[in-house]
Amino acid sequence: MNEADAGTTPIRPLVAGNWKMNGLKAALSEALAVDEALAEAGQAVGADVMICPPATMVMVLSELSGKGGLQVGGQDCHANSSGAHTGDVAPEMLADAGAIAVIVGHSERRADHGETDRIVHEKVLAAHRAGLTAIVCVGETIGQRQAGLTLDVVARQLSGSIPDGVTAENVIVAYEPVWAIGTGLTPGTDDVEQVHGMIREHLSGRFGEEGRRIRILYGGSVKPSNAVELMGITNVNGALVGGASLMAKDFLGIVEAYRG
């Protein structure tokens, strides 16, 4: 159970869907079906639920959902609030469109766009400037894991990506082993527990009580069939879900892990 992992303060889990570069208008019905199901379930679902669609859909999803408390987030943002940055999206724009959070430092951004910890750090500050919660992704590659470097790599990413002075309200950490994303592979429960334990120590060491309450999500091939096991690991406070968040049925099957 997640609630008292860190001591006395309950942590409300989050199940967040990252749609990546998927989602035309027709896909809205999947997101709205999630919102509908949350409305029907009411208090029975003991977790926050979020979908991060492509930027093109943030506003329409924010406007049409909410009946069941579905939250909407962005997938990335620029560090500036406006300017000559063709194709980029400012966090203020995401907030204006109805997002309450934004994913930063996803491994696909780090790999495809050369995003460093320093850049991710700037994006976290930018998200906060716009009033958004930053979902900061960290995780090792398969080579780093095989070389026994997982804890070092993740610790370095945490130190470099998360600015001082953050709170449990404005930062969420997502541990996503790069080799587990979209592959169907997942680490063993002991491995997840070890990395999440280290992340918790890092956060509480730096941020005290706030750090004990910051949510730590696991991401990488979460699906309905493994959600209960993964979400039951100490210091796992929810999931960041890629492929399985695209269809309401699969995503709700994961949310089900938190049904009381």
The least distance separating ligand PEP from the CB of residue 50, rounded to whole angstroms, comes to 12
Q: Among 55, 132, 240, 257, indicate the residue that binds ligand PEP (CB under 6 A).
A: 240
Q: Which of residues 113-172 bind ligand PEP (CB under 6 A)?
A: none
Residue 2 binds to ligand PEP (criterion: CB under 6 A)? no
Backbone angles phi, psi at 47, to 5 degrees: -150, 155
Interacting residues of 65 by C-beta distance below 8 A, sequence separation 6+: 31, 32, 35, 72
Nearer to ligand PEP among residue 6 and residue 104 (C-beta): 104
Active site residue 176: yes
Region of 7-15, 41-49, 145-153, 218-226 interacting with ligand PEP (CB under 6 A): 218-226
Active site residue 113: no
Region of 29-37, 53-61, 208-216, 242-250 interacting with ligand PEP (CB under 6 A): 242-250
Region of 31-39, 121-129, 144-152, 239-247 interacting with ligand PEP (CB under 6 A): 239-247
Give the largest Cα separation in the chain, rounded: 49
Strands (E) located in the chain: 14-18, 48-52, 71-74, 101-104, 133-138, 171-175, 215-219, 238-241
Interatomic CA distance for residues 85 and 107, integer angstroms: 22
Backbone angles phi, psi at 173, to 5 degrees: -105, 135
Residue 18 binds to ligand PEP (criterion: CB under 6 A)? yes
Annotated catalytic residue, options 78, 92, 106, 196: 106
The least distance separating ligand PEP from the CB of residue 84, rounded to whole angstroms, comes to 30
Interatomic CA distance for residues 19 and 24, integer angstroms: 11
Annotated catalytic residue, options 121, 176, 196, 210: 176
The least distance separating ligand PEP from the CB of residue 12, rounded to whole angstroms, comes to 20
Q: Which of residues 62-121 bind ligand PEP (CB under 6 A)?
A: none
Residue 240 region by backbone torsions, left for phi larger than 0, else alpha for psi between -120 and 50, else beta: beta
Interatomic CA distance for residues 151 and 217, integer angstroms: 16
Size of the residue set binding ligand PEP (CB under 6 A): 13
CA geometry: angle 164, 166, 175, nearest 5 deg: 95
Amino acid type, 105:
G
The least distance separating ligand PEP from the CB of residue 149, rounded to whole angstroms, comes to 21
**Catalytic residue IDs:** 106, 176
Residues of this chain that bind ligand PEP (CB under 6 A) = 18, 176, 181-182, 219-222, 240-244
